[in-house]
Amino acid sequence: MTTRYRVEYALKTHRRDQFIEWVKGLLAVPFVLHSQPTGVFETRSNSVKMMAAEAHRRYWEIMRDVEVMIDDHIAHQEVGLHGQSKLKLLVPSIGTFFTKLPLADAFIYQDKKRFISSRRFVPPSFNDVRLILNTAQLMGVTSAGSIDLATFDGDVTLYDDGQSLEPTNPVIEKILYLMSKDTKIGIVTAAGYTEAERYYGRLHGLLDAVKASTILSPAQKKNLIIMGGESNFLFTYSPTSPFLLTHLPRRSCKNSMDPIYVLLSMPREFAFMLPDQVL
């Protein structure tokens, strides 16, 4: 679903990830050099296949080179010199990477699904690069071992903008599988509801599935939390609550979150020095 908010947001280039824009620019070069925007009457099918193969090779090489630059950036991070990496010099807005990104393998996977190399009229887009990065992030995280925590946005991620997570949504089965592996699940949404009923209305498909699940133990079911209102309202799964959620007051976790309160009390100039996650 396309909304006016999403369209206007996409048109503001300063709000778009400059790293993705940079990678998109790199991929534009082989597209211009090797694409053959001929008409539908083209009879030399072999030429199109050769074009796609050459474009695939060049795209793969670029993604592999970027992957090596990210590894170099991570190596600089580990010794406190991330500001001197080549990637930082090329993309000044780049932040901190917490996992390796196998971009070359991720490109091969997405190219099979989206036929990026076979396109003759449409170059690799912002969304193409973003999907490749997302795939690489998943590959990097899963290859490092078990996942302790997985968080998801609500609108435009788990369900369409302004809609709800219905029981027929295929993502529910995947979330239950993660929970069965002792992975904690967090749904983070900007919806600022203060009562559990409203969150149940948006997430009833998942909550009902967790309650009815026979593959999850009672302890695993409690590994589901809902963070609403831009991290202002925390709800945890509760099978005995009318709407399967219980509000966790801020004061109940204040003592165990002293470092967070110290962080929030830091002067603004020190906060700017903290690392940030871009991907």
Q: Which residue out of 71, 105, 148, 155 is catalytically annotated?
A: 155
Contact 162, 1 (CB under 8 A): yes
| Active site (annotated) includes residue 153 | yes
Query: Where are the alpha helices (H) located in the chain, listed in sequence order?
Result: 4-11, 18-34, 45-78, 86-90, 103-114, 126-143, 171-180, 196-212, 218-221, 258-264, 268-271
Structure tokens at 19: 């790293």
Residues 79 and 5 sit within 8 Å (Cβ to Cβ): no
Contact between 102 and 139 under an 8 Å Cβ cutoff? The reply is yes
208 backbone dihedrals φ, ψ, rounded to 5°: -65, -35
Q: For residues 20 and 63, what is the distance between their CA atoms, to the nearest angstrom?
A: 12
Catalytic residue among 65, 153, 161, 182: 153
- What count of other Cβ atoms lies within 10 Å of the Cβ of residue 125? 15
Please say if 276 is a catalytic residue. Answer: no
Residue 62 near residue 28, CB atoms below 8 Å: no
Residues with a catalytic annotation lie at: 153, 155
